[in-house]
């Protein structure tokens, strides 16, 4: 005899995000996913060090290559470790991630703006020396 709440849970009405997918996969599948992500993360990290220390890439293009590798690294972490996907049950996770990125971007942009305007608002060095005398 099945309980009515069990039927409701199986339909996905009262289940937390990610629970339905977790029931379909084994522990082995989960570990394989983590190991693939770990291997890709190590590969991208090694590639970043190799790019920074190589003469095969045009020197002004090295920062852009590092940015591309960093974005790829972020994608690997989001997909393999945080399990952020395009599934409908990940909407809240994606919104929380977007809000976190927005806050970090605002903090960085504000810090750069403040540091850029510090020189304008500081007293010239020669006047500071005169005041100390």
Q: d(Cα 54, Cα 51) in Å, to the nearest integer?
A: 5
Say if residue 79 is in the same domain as residue 21. yes
pLDDT at 100 over 60: yes
Banded pLDDT at 130 (limits 50, 70, 90): confident
Say if residue 2 is in the same domain as residue 26. yes
Say if residue 64 is in the same domain as residue 100. no
Banded pLDDT at 41 (limits 50, 70, 90): very high
pLDDT at 9 over 50: no
Please, what is the average pLDDT of the chain? 83
pLDDT at 25: 67
Count up the domains in the chain and report the number.
2
Say if residue 25 is in the same domain as residue 71. yes
Say if residue 96 is in the same domain as residue 49. no
Say if residue 100 is in the same domain as residue 64. no
Full domain range(s) for residue 92: 87-133
Single residue among 63, 83, 103 that ends a domain in this structure: 83
Say if residue 77 is in the same domain as residue 99. no
Q: For the whole model, what pTM was predicted?
A: 0.61
Rounded mean pLDDT, 97-103? 91
Say if residue 65 is in the same domain as residue 96. no
Single residue among 59, 83, 107 that ends a domain in this structure: 83
Say if residue 109 is in the same domain as residue 68. no
């Amino acid at each position: 005899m099945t309980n009515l709440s069990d039927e409701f849970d199986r339909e996905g009405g009262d289940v937390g995000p990610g629970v339905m997918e977790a029931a379909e996969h084994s522990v082995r599948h989960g570990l394989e996913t983590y190991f693939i992500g770990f291997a890709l993360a190590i590969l991208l990290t090694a590639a970043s060090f190799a790019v920074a220390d190589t003469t095969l890439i045009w020197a002004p293009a090295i920062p852009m290559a590092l940015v591309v590798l960093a974005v790829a690294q972020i994608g690997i972490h989001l997909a393999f470790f945080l399990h952020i996907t395009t599934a409908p049950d990940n909407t809240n996770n994606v919104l929380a991630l977007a809000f976190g990125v927005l806050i970090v971007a605002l903090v960085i942009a504000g810090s750069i703006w403040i540091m850029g305007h510090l020189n304008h608002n500081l007293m010239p060095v020669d006047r500071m020396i005169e005041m100390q005398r």
